Amino acid sequence: MKSNFFFLLATICLCVSGTQPGNPPGAADRPLPVITDGTDQGEKWIYNEEISDEFEMRFDTTKWYNYNPNWAGRPPSLFRTSNVRTEGGELILTGKREEVAGAPEGYHTFTSAAVQSKTKVLYGYFEIECKPMNSALSSAFWLYTNDSVKQEEIDIFEICGRHDTDYSYPKTYFATSHYMLSQQNVHISDHVAHTTEGRWADQWIIAGFKWTRDELVWYVNGKEIRRRNNDFWHSPETINFDSEAFPTWWGLPCDTDNGGEFRIKYFRYWTEKGAPSLRSVYENDLKRN
């Protein structure tokens, strides 16, 4: 089912590393990150089955919310639980052109979807294989937390899958980091716009992200596209997949854009071998009370 070339490459590497002395029992059955930098990823990372999900069974409510517990979506698009499902070994988030009776003020015309983890994580390697939605309703993979003092957000990617007037948007992979101190009115935001020849919505991609105490590194199909020092992001964060309307960024979908599907084959999470003995998995304290 997961026959992508990069997955096969990772599996081959895994089989090799699993035969080496010192690997724990069952190591040969555990996937490795798809990073094509010539190093042995089996010597760096420990696969975490508790957090990872292959989406081969029904939607796992022990791991995920099929909504965002603290947000109804970016207006005018409204998150709906009915737009989240697992099917054929994939997690599918749907965006639609539709009106919802009784929707909150400001929400109209479009509905979309959100999935958030029921745990938070601190540092590690994050990876999904996905096909973005063929729509100006976004496809996004991101990490997030907030409290009374700060907000931390790492956008592993945000993609506009379709744009009928600016053809650069569907070819751009936005990799962004945000840090906000509300009381001090501080908002640090920077990004890299990584481009491809074709549209992202026309291809399956492997999106990877390395988060350590020292640095943040973004990968696409195993190749590094961005690196920055980790100056601010040191709090446990939730894992999020969603689709949003962006009326003030690239604009709302055109009249013939009726949404689509953001398809995810797997989510995988690893912790770093030899890292300082810090906890990596925490309760999601952003959940609705």
* Domain presence at residue 34: no
Span 105-123, average pLDDT: 97
Span 107-117, average pLDDT: 98
Give the length of the chain.
Answer: 289
Output the CA torsion 275→116→205→14 (10° steps): 40
Whole-angstrom distance, CA of residue 62 vs CA of residue 82 = 18
- The percent of residues above 90 in pLDDT, for the chain, comes to 78
* Cβ-Cβ contacts under 8 Å for 11 (sequence gap 6 or more): 31
Span 57-75, average pLDDT: 97
Whole-angstrom distance, CA of residue 141 vs CA of residue 115 = 10
* Domain presence at residue 22: no
Q: What is the reported pLDDT for 279?
A: 66
Whole-angstrom distance, CA of residue 186 vs CA of residue 85 = 38
Does residue 231 surpass a pLDDT of 60? yes
Does residue 257 surpass a pLDDT of 70? yes
Span 261-289, average pLDDT: 81
Whole-angstrom distance, CA of residue 1 vs CA of residue 62 = 24
Q: What is the reported pLDDT for 143?
A: 98
- Residue 257 DSSP one-character state: -
Q: How confident is the model at residue 217 (pLDDT cuts 50, 70, 90)?
A: very high
* Domain presence at residue 20: no
* Cβ-Cβ contacts under 8 Å for 253 (sequence gap 6 or more): 97, 110, 135, 136, 137, 162, 245, 259
Give me the number of domains the chain comprises: 1
Contact present, 155 and 178 (Cβ < 8 Å): yes
Q: How confident is the model at residue 138 (pLDDT cuts 50, 70, 90)?
A: very high
* Domain presence at residue 15: no
Q: What is the reported pLDDT for 19?
A: 33
Whole-angstrom distance, CA of residue 247 vs CA of residue 139 = 15
Of 5-14, 111-120, 161-170, 182-191, the one with minimum mean pLDDT is 5-14
Q: What is the reported pLDDT for 26?
A: 52
CB atoms within 10 A of CB 199: 19
Distances (CA, A) of 24 to 5, 29, 59: 26, 11, 29
Q: Print the domain residue range for 243.
A: 51-283
Does residue 288 surpass a pLDDT of 60? no
Distances (CA, A) of 97 to 26, 54, 114, 238: 46, 29, 16, 28
Highest mean pLDDT: which range of 28-32, 36-40, 196-200? 196-200
Span 204-215, average pLDDT: 97
At 192, which CATH number? 2.60.120.200
Q: What is the reported pLDDT for 182?
A: 83
Sort 259 into a burial class: Cβ within 10 Å, 0-12 / 13-18 / 19+.
buried
* Domain presence at residue 13: no
